[in-house]
Amino acid sequence: RAKATRRGSHVIFESAIRQELENRLTLESELALAADRGEFELFYQPQVRLIDGGLIGAEALIRWRHPVRGYVSPGEFMPVVNTSALSERIANWVMETAGRQARAWELSGNAVRVAINLSPSQLHSGDLAHSVAELLRTTGLTPSLLEIEVTEDILLHDEGRVLDMFKRIQQLGVRILFDDFGTGYASLSYLKKFPLDGLKIDRSFVLDLLADSDDAAIVGSTIGLSKQLGLTVVAEGIENRATADFLVSIGCEEGQGYFFGRPMPADAFEKQFLAAELKAVSAA
Ligand code: C2E
Ligand code: MG
Ligand code: MG
Ligand code: MG
């Protein structure tokens, strides 16, 4: 009887795996179709100077506008993209779309720095530094208006290659920021090894900042460390004014979060954050 049960659970286990594999393959082919049909969009979330709320830039965040399900967030499909053949194609699409948007804003008199996210597989496929150079050349975008956010797992790959790529990108004048700082295993040693321009304090440390003294200690030390290393520091996940004020009081200069604005389509972003300046430009 014991044997039969074991065999039974084995069968269930196997069919669960088969089901999961099928789901993955379905999602993968849906995503390829979505790319063909132009169903991906970039939303933009404001990044501000905390002292006065002035706009500094925007983080571009991908969304899938699904014909039936509506907007699907990246957490639901990027893991599949990242391990599929689509990875490089979507990275190029994100970079081009964000780059052209940043250039359009620049031409309208709004120097909005746009940050894009690249996952490890995307950084390692093709020649990223070359793609960035091509993007700058074809759009005419001022290099300092483009930023690349990378997470720590990128750095688990071939160190020499990553180092070389980062240097080539930075020589173009494009900045590289360390995203989700503090959530990985070796954040500090990466700061030592790689020539980063700044870091983003993960929202998991910011959301509870006012209530959790451990979070406050971690965030405070990270800000001090960044300053000593000459790095820009951006706090993510600021959901209320009290958190923003507290961050200012401990020396944090830049931030983003729902308090300042949610990620939104480009036209909404323009209306909400650039409208006054756009009018000023056309009136001049
Ligand atoms: P991330 O780069 O750390 O992006 C910040 C995430 O925090 C975004 O989630 C944003 O909507 C959310 N967020 C911003 N402010 C707040 C806040 O005040 N409170 C809370 N609770 N959340 C806030 P989103 O857009 O769902 O993106 C999730 C992750 O997906 C991103 O994390 C990034 O790792 C990845 N991702 C997004 N777009 C792209 C892309 O174009 N390419 C790649 N490779 N990855 C992307
Ligand atoms: Mg990011
Ligand atoms: Mg982050
Ligand atoms: Mg994240």
Atom 4 of ligand 1: nearest residue by CA position: 61
Nearest to 100 by CA among 153, 140, 148: 140
Q: What is the pLDDT of residues 61-75, one digit of tens each?
A: 999 999 999 999 999
Answer yes or no: is the C-beta of 203 below 6 A from any ligand 1 atom: yes
CB atoms within 10 A of CB 155: 22
Q: Which pair of tokens denotes residue 44?
A: 């933009």
Residue showing tokens 């909404």: 268
Of the ligands numbered here, which is closest to the C-alpha atom of 87?
Answer: 1
* Sequence letter at residue 254: E
Q: Is the pTM of this model over 0.90?
A: yes
**8 A C-beta contact, residue 72 and residue 66:** yes
Is there an atom of ligand 1 within 6 Å of 78 CB?
yes
- At 115, is the secondary structure helix, strand, or coil? strand
Residue ranges of the chain with pLDDT lower than 70?
A: 1-7, 155, 157, 275-284
Please tell me the distance between residue 132's alpha carbon and the centre of ligand 1 in angstroms: 22
Mutate to test the pocket of ligand 1, among 80, 82, 117 (most ligand atoms within 8 A of CB): 117
234-277 pLDDT per residue, tens: 999 999 999 999 999 999 999 999 999 999 999 999 999 996 55
Q: What are phi and psi of 161, to 5 degrees?
A: -65, -45
Per-chain mean pLDDT for the chain:
90
* DSSP-assigned letters across all residues of 189-214: HHHHHS--SEEEE-HHHHTTTTT-HH
